[in-house]
Amino acid sequence: MSDDRTEPVAELSGESVSDFAVVGTDTGVGKTVVTAGLVGWLRGAGVDARAVKPAQTGYPPDDDAGFVADACGTDAAATCLERLEPALAPAVAAEREGVDLSYDAIREGCERELADAAVGVVEGIGGLRVPLADDREVVDLVADLGVPALVVARSGLGTLNHTALTVEALERRGCAVEGIVLNEYEGASVAERTNPDVLADMTGRPVWTLPPLGIDEPRDAVTGVRERLPTDAFPTG
């Protein structure tokens, strides 16, 4: 398990940090908190970073891009390409609502937003195999965008299988995996305490832990992530 925080925040720049995706093993694992924290961290270091949510379902009340914008204190920090009311996979929600959801339009929108920011951070929807549009899934989008991925997963019992399969799915599609963040880590069980090292052995990727952050307001995500994750979590290139 990596816990090295030697590189100062001041050394982060739009030239050193590449565009990347924050993907999850499932829904509700903490992708948005990690995305908000990393985007806010970069913006605090003077980098024009922007989160891109390809599609938001369950809207309202769910609004991941809105959370990131609130955490960073500016609407320029996040954008959402498509919003759908049913809390379902985007392709399923669009079908139920009679909405023409285009995969090509989503991909092109992501490419446009990534090109417009110094660092673009694409936040996934649920897990990798979630249907997005036109028989394409979230993993197709990450692969087509050609960006490395940071995997966010649960910390406790059961995460070994889900996380290793997620890393494997990305690698099979030629996606670089920067590392794994085990969210809400408390070390309260033997499974939790052993999972970081076991996952590092299973996947060959660095594993970092993020404890419960006690977020009272969105900007707390930025402080918590900046204090708890290393700069190694940012893909460089």
What does the domain layout of the chain look like in residue ranges? 9-233
CB atoms < 10 A from the CB of 84, how many?
Answer: 21
Q: What angle do CA 136, 142, 148 make, to 5 degrees?
A: 165
What Cα–Cα distance (Å) separates residue 83 from each residue in 23, 59, 187, 235? 19, 6, 37, 28
Give the mean pLDDT of 84-105: 98
Of residues 43, 53, 154, 226, which has the active-site annotation? 53
What Cα–Cα distance (Å) separates residue 237 from each residue in 15, 90, 118, 137, 146? 8, 31, 13, 26, 13
Q: Identify the pLDDT of residue 1.
A: 46
Active site residue 53: yes
Give the mean pLDDT of 222-237: 95
What Cα–Cα distance (Å) separates residue 134 from each residue in 21, 95, 100, 224, 232? 21, 11, 10, 37, 35
Which residue is it, tokens 């759908």?
A: 84
What is the model's pTM? Answer: 0.94
Tell me the C-alpha distance between 78 and 120, whole Å. Answer: 9
Q: Write the CB contacts of 172 (distance below 8 Å, at least 6 apart in sequence).
A: none
Question: Does residue 199 have a pLDDT over 90?
Answer: yes
pLDDT of 98-117, one tens digit each? Answer: 999 999 999 999 999 999 99
Tell me the C-alpha distance between 215 and 228, whole Å. Answer: 14
Tell me the C-alpha distance between 43 and 225, whole Å. Answer: 13
Supply the mean pLDDT for the chain: 95
Give the mean pLDDT of 61-69: 98
Find out whether 69 and 38 touch, Cβ atoms under 8 Å.
no
Residue 58 is labelled as binding a ligand = no
Residue type, 211: P
Pairing between strand 119-123 and 78-80?
Answer: unpaired
Band (62; pLDDT cuts 50, 70, 90):
very high
Give the mean pLDDT of 27-43: 98
Tell me the C-alpha distance between 89 and 42, whole Å. Answer: 30
Residue 183 is labelled as binding a ligand = yes
Which residue is it, tokens 């060959």?
A: 204
Residue 33 is labelled as binding a ligand = yes
Three-class SS state of 83: strand
Give the mean pLDDT of 218-232: 97
Residue type, 99: V
Q: Identify the pLDDT of residue 6.
A: 32
**One CATH from 3.40.50.300, 2.60.40.10, 3.30.70.20, 3.10.129.10 for 9-233:** 3.40.50.300
Q: Identify the pLDDT of residue 11.
A: 64
